[in-house]
A and B are shown apart, each in its own frame.
Chain A
Amino acid sequence: MDALIEKLKGQIIEQLNLAEIKPADINPDAPLFGDGLGLDSIDALELIVLLEKYYQIKIKNPADGKMIFESVRTMAAFIQSQGKA
């Protein structure tokens, strides 16, 4: 799980072009949206593409994203639950 979380942090930084941020700066349990990293609805769509690009997981309904993308840890857990880690 930890290895997946670290890998995911790097992929998120790249996909969202968070040039100023290093993986160590991201707390895996902090909220990605709202207060934490301050991501918005467009970032949510980018994360949906990330899941498909790197993990071959297709999310049909953007509303599902809310729970999956709560934090890096919930993302990792979701990927594992799909057997794609």
Chain B
Amino acid sequence: MKVKGYITGSGCISPQNTTEKDYFFENVNGPEVDFFKAIEPSYKEHINSNLLRRMGRAIKMGVSAARIAMTEAGIENVDAIISGTGLGCFEDTEKFLLAIINNDETLLTPTSFIQSTHNTVGSQVALIMKCHGYNYTYAHRGFSFDTCVMDALMNLEEGKNNILIGGIEEHTPNYVEIFRKGKKLNDNNSNKYFEGKTSGIQLGEGTTFFVLSNEKKNAVAAIDGVAFLYKPQSAKEVADKANSFLKTHNISLENIDLVLFGFSGDKEFDKYLLEMLPSTSKNSATAQFKHLSGEYYTANAFAIWTANKIIENQKIPDVIRINSVSKSNINLILIVNGFQGINYSFTLITKC
């Protein structure tokens, strides 16, 4: 891609205090045992009560985060809205589904059905903004948000000016319990995922929106590009992909100031990423982020939010650090994310 997407606005609702002004990981929250629940803002600030009454958590989070991003970008409307979510609006989905099961297909109400569709957040944001532009929703596991990034960059290259992109995910108590019963959650209390000693993940949730623009304006960082790797068969494939991706941007791993890894805490899922750690640790600072966000389909959006803040502050928070390589200037950040060992993505964020 020849263009970059300048991050002119961002809004993040997460298990951390990311909605606080100027928050930079001064204090961090751990999971409630094995689940990172999102800290939700006062929605009345962002959404009028007539719309609010119908919305499930995912939609409330999505619309609010989108508003925060738009406010920061100082714009009223955008050319395109692109959202990513693995499960869609699961709270409403579950509500409708359990009503079908418990009432044997009777006395069903339409609200939870219509709010359950994957593209509800994107369309609600469009409705509120009266945005008639391009509106897509991607729902592909660990690639859900990454495809939004790719599509946004394509849209910018095609001549659009401002694109709103968002990664959304919510979990219900039932969903978390099912995960727990299936023994997929980790309550090990060790968040040093980079040590590769733990099994199971810590589930998280959250919503992060960005405004990507074709002009720098007040942006401190830009997304230069994203690459995908599906079901690699070896750690070498992952490393090779990282290198070839950077090569297309005329740089190599040595130029990267910070490699931000999406270790999930499950050593089996993380095995190829763990193998990348030694080679990246020589020249670059290394860090991890899912011990703050939890693992979920669109966690990469949280990583990009974090990278943007790091470039803004020109500091790597101790709480995410893996190695102690110090960098006086943080210009290039490579996010290397993996999801369940099947969906890998590489995102390049640069100081602008």
A–B contact (CB under 8 angstroms): yes
Which residues of A come within 8 Å of B, CB atoms? Answer: 15-20, 38, 42, 45-46, 49, 52-53
Q: Name A52's closest neighbour in chain B (CB-CB).
A: B107
B49 adjacent to A19 (CB under 8 Å): yes
Quick one: which of B50, B108, B114 contacts A49, CB cutoff 8 A?
B108
Q: Considering the chains assembled together, what is the distance between the CA atoms of A15 and B107 in angstroms? A: 12
> Residue of B at shortest CB range from A45?
B110
Instruction: Compute the total of residue contacts between A and B using a CB distance below 8 Å.
Output: 25
Q: How far is the CA of A14 from the CA of B336 in the complex (A)?
A: 47
Which residues of B sit under 8 angstroms from A16, Cβ to Cβ? 53
Residue contact B107 to A49, C-beta cutoff 8 Å: yes
Q: Which residues of the partner chain B approach A49 to less than 8 Å between Cβ atoms?
A: 107-110
B54 at the interface (CB under 8 A from A): yes
Q: Considering only CB atoms, which chain A residue lies closest to B108 in the complex?
A: A49
The answer for the CA separation of A17 and B107 in the assembled complex, in Å, is 17
Beyond A17-B54, A42-B111, A53-B107, 13 additional pairs, beta carbon < 8 A: A15-B109, A17-B53, A18-B53, A19-B49, A19-B53, A20-B49, A42-B54, A42-B110, A42-B114, A46-B109, A46-B111, A49-B107, A49-B110
Q: Which residues of A contact B49 (CB under 8 A)?
A: 19-20
Contacts of B50 in A (CB 8 A): 38
Residues of A within 8 A of B53 (CB): 16-19
Nearest CB on A from B143, distance (A)? 32
Interface residues of B in 262-314 (CB under 8 A from A): none
Across the interface, name the chain B residue whose C-beta is closest to A13.
B53
A-B contact pairs, 20 of them (CB 8 A): A15-B109, A17-B53, A17-B54, A17-B111, A18-B53, A19-B49, A19-B53, A38-B50, A42-B54, A42-B110, A42-B111, A45-B109, A45-B110, A46-B109, A46-B110, A49-B107, A49-B108, A49-B109, A49-B110, A52-B107
